[in-house]
């Protein structure tokens, strides 16, 4: 293992985070606070409870997942896309680091950053709503696995993208709709039966449901299924990354 190599990439990526502190940390927190004010306090006070949970509390896991997914993807995709764009990727490619080590460095830093943001959002939520966490260990596992999985996914997007537009298109056209339709703001039991079935094809449903279970002990799908789904998606991302490095796709040709 090239430990110094992993460390160099990790430190480099984290220093980018500290350098752009306002954009990287302050803005997701501000955005999420706005959600809490509008949906939690303003609209939420007129909504009934869902599964015995006040609406403001109900949306916390969904909002947390929303920013965790978005942040993980954008951090990781930008982290690897920018060196490709500026040409500095030559150094990583010519260094004695294995693809596995490169992924640990980039994905590790992206996941770290989105976890920091996730925890800050959780703390911010406390200012607006009282909530409790019934299964803290499960919560931490869900956050960790989601951060890592979607950082991997973002890493793939960053490798695939060959212009800035492509970098934006998957988060905007795929992830945002899936999250909004994944039960961030409602329980899927509120949908008509047909749409309840359709919605089960949305992977984000399992993430939000699992995380909500860790908070309040209620979920749309069984927590075990949520955990299996996220592990399956992680495996798929790992296989894709492995294939990309093996073939040199968009990297070495």
Q: Please state, in angstroms and rounded to a whole number, the distance separating the CA atoms of residues 104 and 82.
A: 17
Q: How far apart are the first and last CA of the chain?
A: 26
Of 5-13, 60-68, 111-119, 126-134, the window that binds another protein (rule: CB under 8 A) is: 5-13
Cβ proximity to another protein, 101 vs 220, nearer residue: 101
162 near another protein (CB under 8 A): no
Cβ partners under 8 Å of residue 156, min gap 6: 237, 240, 241, 244
Q: Which of 23, 49, 51, 91 binds another protein (CB under 8 A)?
A: 91
The CA-CA-CA angle for residues 107, 17, 26, to 5°, reads 115
**9: contact with another protein by CB under 8 A:** yes
96 binds another protein (CB under 8 A): yes
**Candidate list 8, 129, 140, 200; residue touching another protein; CB under 8 A:** 8
Applying CB under 8 A, which of residues 50, 97, 103, 184 lies at the interface with another protein? 97
- SS3 of residue 53 by DSSP: strand
Establish how many alpha carbons lie within 13 A of residue 98's alpha carbon, considering only the half-sphere containing its beta carbon: 6
User: How far apart, in Å, are the Cα atoms of 46 and each of 41, 43, 55, 174?
Assistant: 9, 6, 9, 31
If one asks whether residue 164 binds another protein (CB under 8 A), the answer comes out as no
* Smaller CB separation from another protein, 2 or 196: 2
Check residue 241 for interaction with another protein (CB under 8 A).
no
Q: Is 54 an interacting residue with respect to another protein (CB under 8 A)?
A: no
In the complex, minimum distance from the CB of residue 67 to another protein, in angstroms, rounded to a whole number: 25
The single residue among 38, 88, 136, 174 that binds another protein, judged by CB under 8 A, is 88
Strand residue runs (E) in 13-172: none
One residue of 26, 42, 93, 228 binding another protein per CB under 8 A: 93
Position among 48, 87, 192, 193 found at the interface with another protein (CB under 8 A): 87
119 binds another protein (CB under 8 A): no
- In this complex, which beta carbon is closest to another protein, that of residue 189 or of residue 247? 247
Contact between 170 and 81 under an 8 Å Cβ cutoff? The reply is no
Backbone torsions φ then ψ of 53, nearest 5 degrees: -115, 140
Q: Which of 104, 83, 10 is nearest to 251 (CA)?
A: 83
How far is CA 226 from each of CA 9, 38, 45, 145, 146, rounded to the nearest angstrom?
Answer: 32, 29, 30, 11, 11
Which region, judged by CB under 8 A, interacts with another protein, from 13-21, 33-41, 143-151, 181-189? 13-21
Applying CB under 8 A, does 145 fall inside the site for another protein?
no
Q: Applying CB under 8 A, which residues contact another protein?
A: 2-5, 7-9, 11-12, 15-16, 19, 86-88, 90-98, 248, 252-253
């Amino acid at each position: 293992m090239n430990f110094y190599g992993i460390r160099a990439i990790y430190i480099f990526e984290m220093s980018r985070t500290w350098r752009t502190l306002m954009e990287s940390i302050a803005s997701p927190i501000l955005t999420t606070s706005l959600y809490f004010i509008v949906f939690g306090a303003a609209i939420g006070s007129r909504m009934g409870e869902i599964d015995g949970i006040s609406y403001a509390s109900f949306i916390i896991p969904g909002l947390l997942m929303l920013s965790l997914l978005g942040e993980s993807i954008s951090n990781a995709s930008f982290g690897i896309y920018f060196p490709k764009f500026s040409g500095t990727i030559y150094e990583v490619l010519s260094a004695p680091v294995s693809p596995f080590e490169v992924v640990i460095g980039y994905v590790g830093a992206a996941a770290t950053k989105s976890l920091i943001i996730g925890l800050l959002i959780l703390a911010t939520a406390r200012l607006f709503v009282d909530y409790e966490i019934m299964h803290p260990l499960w919560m931490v596992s869900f956050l960790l696995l989601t951060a890592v999985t979607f950082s991997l996914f973002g890493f793939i997007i960053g490798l695939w993208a060959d212009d800035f537009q492509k970098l934006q298109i998957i988060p905007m056209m795929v992830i945002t709709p899936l999250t909004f339709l994944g039960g961030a703001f409602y329980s899927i039991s509120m949908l008509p039966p047909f749409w309840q079935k359709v919605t089960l094809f949305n992977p984000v449903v399992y993430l939000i449901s699992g995380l909500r279970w860790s908070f309040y002990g209620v979920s749309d799908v069984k927590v075990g299924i949520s955990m299996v789904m996220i592990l399956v998606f992680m495996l798929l991302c790992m296989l894709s990354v492995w294939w990309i490095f093996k073939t040199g796709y968009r990297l070495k040709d």
